[in-house]
Structure 1
Amino acid sequence: MSHRNYDVSIWGVTGYTGRFGAECCFKQNALRIEKGQTPLRFAFAGRNEPEMQRIVEGLCAQYPTAPRPDVVTATLEENDMRLEKLCTNTRVLVSYSGPYSLFGERIVQACISSSTHYIDITAELTWVQSIAVKYGTEIKEKNLKFVSCCGFDFLPNDLMMAQLSEVCASNKIVEAWGGLDALDTVTHTFSQSTPMVSGGTARSAMEMIRTLGFKNTLRWYLDPFAICNSLPNGSATDKSILILPRHVGGNEYCAKYVMSNLMCKYVHWSNELQGYRYGRSLKYYGGESRRNYFWALCCGALMWFGFFSVWIGFLLPPQIRSLLLPTVGSGPGTDERSFMFCHLKADFIQLTSSETDSPEKSPQFEEARVEDEARVEDESRVEGALGMAVVPQTTGTTTEATVDAATMDAEADEDDSKGETSVSEDTRNHCALKEVRKSGEVVGSVHLKWRWLGVENYVFAGYASACAGILLASKPETLPETYGYLPPSVAFGSPLLKALVDAGMQATDAEVREDLME
């Protein structure tokens, strides 16, 4: 892509969130010039050229040292090839134009045909699911990174889960618990100063209800694995969702929020795409942070009222709905007093003793193993239990997980011929670990905290997605060599966290507690 005219193109710059993405581009170039670095080449694209020029003029006055980006006018009409020309001339396209179920696929197709990386901020998971199934293979074959959901609703959850895995890999206390194998429940809370929605968000919600159908919306909303089940290796093991408030610690409670179930869906989808990195029995709960149980309960009740209001509002005539919804391009506004806070609490159960890193030597393991040996009557039943414990359920397809399981069985047979560990012995170990998880109690937690000042959720979405595009265009060598239609944590990993810090977006804390039983 070295011959391309633009490093990053911003599509939808006149939208409420797109303006923050444009501001981030100016700010990053001003910082690069201040440091003596070569500025990046940006293009701002959309349908309304006068409005785009007005936005550029304002940002040029705010960041006078940053070079002026090109303004490209194009539409999403099938016979308008200016979009294809733009994609051919850019390394990364960041799209802020929703509803994506109406306008997104045309841009995705143009990026694929032009071999251009793609990023968006959608929260329309039905659209994400359809694009992943329809274009995922082609995107991967072309060694492209297509990353959706780089906004406030899903990006913090996904990156904090990835950060949690890094803590598990580097912290001796968590290692003694059993690492990610001992991960039982994750509770994610957030608070913000401007809990309002933009016009684009409101219309995206209505469009998602239209796509699902009025009768199917509630069923889809309540299923935490709704976007996993269409994937070849999808198999849910725990369909827990947040209903009543959950105690996070101290006087903090996790309250039901309209996006809670969608956050849960996205984390499970990301987990599945990573081969169940966080375990197949992961329980994930997300919601707003509240200071006491009663207030959290009231907020949850208000959430359900709001959900059903939107649901029923879909039945209103379009003319009336347009009067009730925020106008396109509008938003809650922000100032220096705006803030956001995210808190992820991961509960672990004890799989290993404090004296050894080997789970086979822990008291819980030995007790479960004795019970298991009494229950297992013959070799075939034990081997069947192994399949249920560690082999993913598939429907006529060969997955990486099933290949790994077959390799493990072959290696066990080879060891058995050498007089080493037998298949049945390994099988009892797996079954025993499963029993420990069933009866295990939480022995400790990891807390991750992100804080932003002067930032509300739409500012975060605009800046974070633009930072992701800049990172992908300017420092691709620092990113994981994974391609396809990916969650942010898989596409970018820890370099995106560093990019957010460098942009002045957030600060992180990691705290490990050995005992939080209260």
Structure 2
Amino acid sequence: MTDQAQDREHDVVVLGATGFVGRLTAAYLGTAAPEGTRIALGGRSREKLERTRAELGGRAADWPLVVADSLSDADMDRVAASTRVVATTVGPYAQYGLPLVRACAQHGTHYADLTGEVLFIRDAIDLHHEAARASGARIVHTCGFDSVPSDLGVHALHVHATRHGLGGLTDTTYVVKAAKGGVSGGTVASLRGQLDIAKADRTKRRIMVDPYGLSPDREAEPSDLGDERDPQGVVRDDALGGFLAPFFMGVINTRVVRRSNALLGYAYGRRLRYRELMLGGGLPLGPVKAGAIAGGLTALVVGLSLPPTRKLLDAVLPDPGEGPSEQDRENGFFAIDVHTTTSDGTRLVCAIRAPGDPGYKATAVMLGEAALSLALDGDALPPAAGVLTPATAMGTALTDRLRAAGHAYEVRAA
């Protein structure tokens, strides 16, 4: 924590606390934060904040309220100056996020969000990375289901390979073996916004499709993209379980993992090749299931890109602020294996497991623990500042916190 952030009124401000995921994150912090952690609830409406605080009850009943508008520079400066960490769920981030990123970067305040928006992160890097480095702020995007399991899973493989002298990581594949959960209205809104921006701006569109679009130095990355292009259609890989489809969050997750590698001076290895897939399974139904997943993803993107079909999809897809019932959130889960081969030929896998709906309950745990790590872990955090990733900002400290919270990150020989 920077010197200027040591003496602050709050340890963590949850901004967007009256929204669906913001409220879940606040509720998690109400039970998981160590006694004495100074937490505040932030949002635009005092009335809604008061109602949320009353509904949370317990320890949250005494939490202070911070009324602020995310589009007001003055309000964001006031929030950033009041706290050591801001955890924000206010999206779409391209629309609402940059004033807070700027304020945190200038005030040396750590920041965590749930964005999966490549273009927003690129803007944050270009506009505020150097200011955050100078102030000591850690600006950490993608602190939910995208992209914590991806980023920490690959980081855990790197730590294990380094500890055992196995060399760098080469071909690495993240495989979603099973998952159960609802579709996030916020994720859908972010996708709509990204598609609209890319449609209107050819330069932005190139950034979105560039596998190295979040690199700190694009010229240092390969110009021949080869296998690093986003997977299209069904993939057959018997070593990974049969037939697989592209994972819809891979478009953001893969770029975050590559940014981590670059920010770490390519510690994972210059030969890292990374992709993300969903398991369909073996014969006879595997190719049918994988084809349905791949076709559904293509249909969603195309449907949201065209005005007539977008209207139809908008009628059935959830709106921001909506989410599944408590029972559905509790019954959700995810199971992911991240496979790699090291440069000496050793095959490893990181098994990642967590209870709860991935985009809601599990994400609230991830964002909550990221905020606590940034606020409380001090010297256990990597010596880094700027616009970072979960792995480069918190690394093993966050992995250990998530393990203690019931998430599994287990590296073993494949």
What TM-score does the superposition give when structure 1 sets the normalisation length?
0.71
User: Is the 8 Å Cα contact of residues 196 and 332 (structure 1) preserved in structure 2?
Assistant: yes
> Who is 1:93 aligned against?
86
Letter in 1 for 2:198: L
Identity of aligned residues (%): 25
Separation of aligned partners in 2, 1:300 and 1:347: 27
| Cα distance change of structure 1 residues 274 and 304 upon mapping to structure 2, 3 Å threshold | farther
| Structure 2 residue matching 1:18: 3-state secondary structure | helix
Separation of aligned partners in 1, 2:338 and 2:240: 14
> Who is 2:11 aligned against?
7
1:306 aligns with 2:297: yes
> Who is 1:340 aligned against?
334
1:19 aligns with 2:23: yes
Q: Residue 237 of structure 1: CA displacement?
A: 5.0
Q: Unaligned 5+ residue runs, structure 2?
A: none
Which residue among 127, 132, 149 is the counterpart of 2:125? 132
Deviation string 1:303-342 (CA, Å, 9 cap, x unpaired) is: 3443344334333178766534412211234343321111
| Structure 1 residue matching 2:319: 3-state secondary structure | coil
Q: Residue 9 of structure 1: CA displacement?
A: 0.2
Separation of aligned partners in 2, 1:71 and 1:329: 20
1:497 aligns with 2:394: no
Letter in 1 for 2:323: G
| Structure 2 residue matching 1:281: 3-state secondary structure | coil
Deviation string 1:85-112 (CA, Å, 9 cap, x unpaired) is: 2221111001111111000001112222
1:507 aligns with 2:408: yes
Q: Residue 276 of structure 1: CA displacement?
A: 1.9
> Who is 1:405 aligned against?
none
> Who is 1:209 aligned against?
195
Which residue among 68, 72, 97 is the counterpart of 1:74? 68
Letter in 2 for 1:456: P
1:269 aligns with 2:242: no
Which residue among 245, 257, 260 is the counterpart of 1:255? 245
Separation of aligned partners in 2, 1:138 and 1:215: 27
1:50 aligns with 2:40: no
> Who is 1:159 aligned against?
152
| Structure 2 residue matching 1:336: 3-state secondary structure | helix
| Cα distance change of structure 1 residues 124 and 248 upon mapping to structure 2, 3 Å threshold | farther
> Who is 1:478 aligned against?
380
Q: Residue 47 of structure 1: CA displacement?
A: 1.4
CA RMSD between the two structures:
2.7
Letter in 2 for 1:179: G
Letter in 1 for 2:212: F
1:456 aligns with 2:358: yes
| Structure 1 residue matching 2:331: 3-state secondary structure | coil
> Who is 2:269 aligned against?
279
Letter in 1 for 2:335: F
User: Is the 8 Å Cα contact of residues 14 and 46 (structure 1) preserved in structure 2?
Assistant: yes
Separation of aligned partners in 2, 1:459 and 1:76: 24
User: Is the 8 Å Cα contact of residues 258 and 304 (structure 1) preserved in structure 2?
Assistant: no
Separation of aligned partners in 1, 2:275 and 2:291: 13
Q: Residue 193 of structure 1: CA displacement?
A: 4.0
| Cα distance change of structure 1 residues 198 and 454 upon mapping to structure 2, 3 Å threshold | closer
Separation of aligned partners in 1, 2:32 and 2:88: 18
User: Is the 8 Å Cα contact of residues 93 and 118 (structure 1) preserved in structure 2?
Assistant: yes
Separation of aligned partners in 1, 2:28 and 2:299: 36
Letter in 2 for 1:100: Y
1:227 aligns with 2:214: yes
User: Is the 8 Å Cα contact of residues 21 and 466 (structure 1) preserved in structure 2?
Assistant: yes
| Cα distance change of structure 1 residues 457 and 252 upon mapping to structure 2, 3 Å threshold | farther
| Cα distance change of structure 1 residues 479 and 56 upon mapping to structure 2, 3 Å threshold | same
What TM-score does the superposition give when structure 2 sets the normalisation length?
0.88
Letter in 2 for 1:105: L
Q: Residue 127 of structure 1: CA displacement?
A: 1.1
Deviation string 1:255-284 (CA, Å, 9 cap, x unpaired) is: 222223332222222222222222233221
| Structure 2 residue matching 1:213: 3-state secondary structure | helix
> Who is 1:381 aligned against?
none
| Structure 1 residue matching 2:306: 3-state secondary structure | coil
| Structure 2 residue matching 1:179: 3-state secondary structure | coil
| Cα distance change of structure 1 residues 76 and 261 upon mapping to structure 2, 3 Å threshold | closer
Q: Residue 194 of structure 1: CA displacement?
A: 3.2
| Structure 1 residue matching 2:87: 3-state secondary structure | strand
Separation of aligned partners in 1, 2:62 and 2:311: 40
Separation of aligned partners in 2, 1:476 and 1:92: 12
| Cα distance change of structure 1 residues 304 and 275 upon mapping to structure 2, 3 Å threshold | farther
Q: Residue 54 of structure 1: CA displacement?
A: 2.6
> Who is 1:179 aligned against?
167
| Structure 1 residue matching 2:409: 3-state secondary structure | strand
> Who is 1:188 aligned against?
174
Kindly report which structure 2 residues correspond to 1:350-365, keeping only aligned pairs within 5 A, or say none: 350=344
Report how many residues are paired.
Answer: 402
Separation of aligned partners in 2, 1:224 and 1:301: 24
Deviation string 1:32-58 (CA, Å, 9 cap, x unpaired) is: 3xxxxx421111111133333232222
